[in-house]
Amino acid sequence: MTHADWLLLPGERGNPATRLDRRRPDGAAWSRGNHVRPLVHGATYFAELLKSVRAMGPGDLLLFTDWRGDRDERLDGPGTEIGTVLCRAVERGVIVKGLLWRSHLDGFHFSEEENLRLGEEIAAVGGECLLDMRVRPGGSHHQKLVVLRHRGRPELDVAYVGGIDLCHNRNDDAVHSGDRQSLRMAAAYGPHPPWHDVQVAVRGPAVGDVEAVFRERWEDPAPLSRSPLTRLREWMHREDISADRLPPQTPDPARCGTHTVQLLRTYPNRLLRGYPFAPDGERSIARGYTKALGRARALIYLEDQYLWSPRVVACFAEALGRHPQLRVIAVVPSVPEEDGPLTLPMNLIGRVKALEELRRAGGDRVAVYGLENRAGTPVYVHAKVCVIDDVWASVGSDNINLRSWTHDSELGCVVYDEHPDSRRPADPGGLGDGARAFARELRLELMREHTEAAEGEAQALCDPVSAFDAFATSAAVLDAWHEGGRRGPRPPGRLRRYVPPELGVRQRLLAIPLHRLLVDPDGRPLGMRFRRTF
């Protein structure tokens, strides 16, 4: 087994214009010798980010991209608002540069004003934060990354990549009582929606790769928006629409661990004028998943906000069809984030059809669950995690849907640990790959939380079959407790079996075209659509 069995080679990315695969003298499409640490829950990530930013000093460099940024979101209590923390960094001499998605109008429940205010606050003290609308129509910049580079102290360099935005709702912990600074969601989630999410902290040479992703976007010479109305708003607000030059990129940090990291991205086939770093778009997230799924034999473990689109889950279904011992566990939100009479069917139909395809291929080898906290309130699953056979692990901003694989900008971090895991089974897939410590421990950390397994029971989760059965048992017991009127002590565990609601024929007929047009659009070139490739 080699890295090339699981990771994309330079020619397999499908985007020769990017600098990612040309950065290293050996021409490798990944970086070795990193140390990657999962940060499960927003509260864990925010506390570490706060500590790391506060340790930065004059001449250090802080780069970030985000889908939404709320300047008043507290990282760890009063006085730690993200706007305040970034402004204090600028005042200490840190070079702060940010790219926020400009967003659609707030009248459509997006975040244009919030992103504008955070950018204005940073700019007022000498930082720079641009509102970037260089997207396909109806698209968004969905990457969530922070890079901290330290002048003369490269051993402190770190990059954060994953699904956690610097905004309201995200600051939740393992108890899942919700962020006190909350945005409205479907009524089932209550006033403070419980939130489950994952980020990773990356140290080592891959920090330079994450920085290169930021620099490609920052140095794009195209206007931040093509829209005349947006250009007028930029002029009226006197917005900064021209990116200042960044200081030269410093050498990558030294090797510090056993983790090989490959960054995967999505950029759309942007109409008229493409990105200079991805003229025809990039779909390496889709390609990376497809390659890794080709080696799946035992267990695919997913946590995903959406799990939509039959055109995307087809590669999962094909793997299930090829290998009769392969199982899939998926953890998804029990309820879509919006519950309106039109938006609810639009959001549900993609998952309903995707799960129908998965179950046609895998039958009872496919298990899907939602989460709830101890009070019985559903937990909104915003994490984007995939672990295949305890070897290949991905954490990123990308969901399992067509939008994330073709249409928006996304960033995923794939980790292959060169250090084998000593626990049994030693080789779940049976291909000689051997279980890897990072992938297995990430899966077990998440599974232990969801099942609330006692220490002695957690070892059984190592085995894919036992883990599959443990999830089913945990959910069945909790479901039975609810169905029995919640009599007696609440059983351990947070898992509830996910049962998609029934949609009538008329609802489906209306929801399907709206879902494809608005909710889950396709950003591929026409030729790829016809060939059904990525």
Q: What average pLDDT does this structure show over 421-427? A: 95
Residue 314 in this model has a pLDDT that exceeds 60: yes
> How high is the pLDDT of residue 505?
80
Reported pTM:
0.96
| Residue 426 per-residue DSSP state | S
Task: Say if CB 307 and CB 355 are below 8 A apart.
Answer: yes
Amino acid 508: pLDDT: 82
Measured between alpha carbons, how far is 412 from 319 in angstroms, rounded to an integer? 21
pLDDT in tens, 490-507: 999 999 999 988 888 888
**More confident site: 367 or 108:** 367
Greater confidence, 272 or 142?
A: 142
Tell me the range of 38-47, 95-104, 106-115, 305-314 where mean pLDDT is highest.
38-47
Q: Helices in 294-342 by DSSP H: which ranges? A: 310-322
Q: Is the pLDDT of residue 92 over 50?
A: yes
Judge contact between 117 and 154, C-beta under 8 A.
Answer: no
Q: Which two tokens stand for residue 370?
A: 């939602």
Give yes or no for residue 152 having a pLDDT over 50.
yes
Lowest mean pLDDT among 9-13, 409-413, 421-425, 498-502: 498-502
Predicted local distance difference test score (pLDDT) of residue 461: 96
Tokens of 235: 């002029």
Res. 181: pLDDT tops 70:
yes
Angle between helices 82-91 and 112-124 (to 10 degrees): 20
Q: Which helix (H) or strand (E) holds 196?
A: strand 195-196
Mean pLDDT of 123-149: 95
What's the pLDDT at 112? 67
What pLDDT sits at residue 327? 98
CA atoms of 207 and 410, how far apart (whole Å): 17
Q: How many CA atoms lie within 13 A of 135 on its CB side?
A: 27
> Does residue 230 register a pLDDT over 90?
no
- Mean pLDDT value across residues 360-379: 98
Higher pLDDT, 107 or 458: 458
Residue ranges of alpha helices (H) inside 331-463 are: 343-362, 402, 437-451, 455-458
Q: What does 65-84 look like in DSSP terms, one character per residue?
A: EES-B-TT-BSSSTT-BHHH
Tens of pLDDT, residue by residue over 381-401, are 999 999 999 999 999 999 999
DSSP 93: T
Alpha-carbon span 510 to 493, nearest angstrom: 37
- Going along the chain from its start, the domains and CATH numbers come out as 26-237+248-257 (3.30.870.10), 282-531 (3.30.870.10)
Side chain identity, residue 318: E
How does the average pLDDT of the chain come out, rounded? Answer: 93
What are the structure tokens assigned to 405, written together? 């694989």
